[in-house]
Amino acid sequence: MNTSTAAVPASLDLGVGGMTCASCVNRVERALKKVPGVRDATVNLATESARVTYAPSDEMEAQLRRAVRNAGYEPRAADAPMEADPSPWHGFLPVALGLLLSLPLMVPMVGDLLGRHWMLPAWQQFLLATPVQFVLGARFYRAGWHALKAGTGNMDLLVAIGTSAGWGLSVWLWLAQGQDHLYFEASAVVVTLVLLGKWLETRAKRQTTTAIRALQSLRPEVAHVLLRSGGEADLPLAEVLSGDQLVVRPGERVPADGVVEQGDTHVDESMLTGEPLPVSKGVGARVTGGSINAEGRFVMRATAVGKESVLARIIRLVEDAQAAKAPIQRMVDQVSAVFVPVVLGLAVATLAGWLWVGADAEEALIHAVAVLVIACPCALGLATPAAIMAGTGVAARQGILIKDAEALERAHRVDTVAFDKTGTLTVGQPRLVAFVPVPGADENDQLAVAASLQSGSEHPLARAVVGAARDRGIAFVAPDSVRAVAGRGTEGEVGHRSFLIGSLRWMQELQVPLAPVQAQVDRLQGEGATLSALVERVTGGLALRALMAFADEPKPGAAPAIGLLRARGLRLLMISGDNRAAAHAMARRLGLTPDEVQAEVLPGEKATRVAALREGGHVVAMVGDGVNDAPALAAADVGIAMGTGTDVAMHAAGITLMRGDVGLVAGALDISHRTVVKIRQNLFWAFAYNVAGIPLAALGYLNPVVAGAAMALSSVSVLTNALLLKRWRL
């Protein structure tokens, strides 16, 4: 294998059917990791899926499918690990049959509670219990046998051994000793209750995947494509190409990302951004696939389709987060790896212990069966992924995309939030509020030079210069050459003359004399403006040509959002490349104190400042939106990127806010806290249930029927607790 290939691992999602507990997860992961070329494998019990990272290979998918099958499970399509949305009673038939056959066996138990002791004849008990045990319960024998062949155990093995022991004991007492007081009801009712629990669990698990299904449902099935001949054709969405002209009618979903070319409308983007109000769209406006055209018909040109669309990327982010394991899950994996062997050992010890204290074999075996039945590794396996799926799902519907489980778990420990200024706390669309030429220079000529030099740049300040020139009707041309100087400005040639535009800090480094405009510098900086200078290279050095002042506005919700974060007891910080006066002026408008501002910080230094905060013992979240923020976002414990910013920033961040609302920062930290609380609650109850239930069963305080009911309800309670997160709102 060559080095270049090894450096770019591929990944594959694979559905895995037949898993029932955390032990199954461990077995599938071990089987997948044994496949040559596999670098890592993560299996999620809640979604019944696996994500595998491997060295590229044409036959890898086939090998992975075979590994899953050899481990005793069913490989399935990656895009449909669970059934989408069946009827509420889907899969209930085996449970109904089990209840129908088990209820007559339960009647004598009710009679005992009422003081009336009677039993069905043994042969009737046998006829009722045997189909439940070996037909409805066949799934436990199959899965348990696969586990034994793999040299491990799972929940199915415990249920199969426990119920078989109860059924076998009853047959022996009936045929060998002629007794009518048997334990057929224990084996039949336990199988039925476990089936009921699995059915309820499956229904609850489907609810944790509603976020993904809701996002997938945003894709329309067809698009109205304008033909070159002038007509329209309805094509499947998969056949739409970038560059196609598409017609979107009122009430329809936008089929792809694109730009409006004809028409005006309002678009509902709430399912993508969480923004409740429709957004006005006219010619030149960008529209996102999956949003709803609220009123007018318009024509758009597709710019991103399929996997490159915003909606597809959102779905991938949510899927990635839900497929990942939180660090806290490692402890659960270690426990579940030895859980079944330990329980089997405890059951044997229970049997031996009761025989040693003088109990008869019948009583000792029933207590051992109760130990096997009450043990529940499935609750352990569901505790963490169920909470992560519910938390990331509800966050996505509010416009907060959490990239991975690790970011989700770290975010709740954040004590310091650092903000970029431009585009994050401010609107990010600065205006040129003053253009001051040096004495004797023509203002329009110098502005034309500045606009020419900046005409190819996407920097907000460059766009402000170009916009000001256009507003004044000043003509400008493309530069002869141009080069960006990182963190400082731009230099290039216009009309065979060499110019520089950059920050005053750069000008000071270059020793450009600012004396001709020093009074204006002091005044404009005092007003909070961001200053740049236009300088020409001349014989003998650099000559100042003009001073430019830019002003930005704080985002409407930025100051309240900062107040909300402060109320949570967080340390706040604004890190800006602006001059000190401008940064402090904006900080005052945002409600930040002078101590909470770090100004004149070069882009490369932002990551250093963040790293210094972490070295000081702080857990840091960095909030930014631009390419220059990417290193700082990556350096922070949790990077939070504005979805209105650049792809580079979003790639470096662990959390993406789908709209440029600073208030979502508090929301992201809050849903992280609530999700981690649910994970801890689930793990506590899953561990506490087994720690308390197994000793009670071993000591004879729980019969197998009660143990079966408790085991069946344990995983359902864990899922129900996780689903409470779906009620969270900003």
Residue-by-residue DSSP string for 393-438: HHHHHTTEEE--HHHHHHHTT--EEEEESTTTTB-S--EEEEEEEP
Residue type, 352: A
Helical packing angle, 60-70 and 22-33, nearest 10°: 140
So which residues are the catalytic ones? 420
Positive or negative, the Cα torsion across 122, 123, 125, 131? positive
DSSP code at position 133:
I
User: What Rg value do the Cα atoms of the chain yield, rounded?
Assistant: 33
> What is the spatial distance between Cα 617 and Cα 147, in angstroms, rounded to a whole number?
46
* Structure tokens belonging to residue 319: 């899927």
| Cβ contacts of 636 within 8 Å, gap of 6 or more | 418, 610, 614, 620, 621, 622
DSSP-assigned letter for residue 375: -
Report residue 2: phi and psi, to 5°.
-80, 160
**Residue that has been written with the tokens 């028409």 in this structure:** 263
Encoding tokens for residue 404? 């991975």
> Rounded to an integer, what distance in angstroms lies between the CA atom of residue 275 and that of residue 343?
51
Q: Could you say which DSSP state residue 252 is in?
A: P
Q: What would the DSSP string read from start to end of 448-487?
A: HHHHHHHTT---HHHHHHHHHHHHTT------SEEEEETT
Rounded to whole angstroms, how far apart are CA atoms 710 and 165? 19
* C-alpha dihedral sign at 690, 692, 694, 697: negative
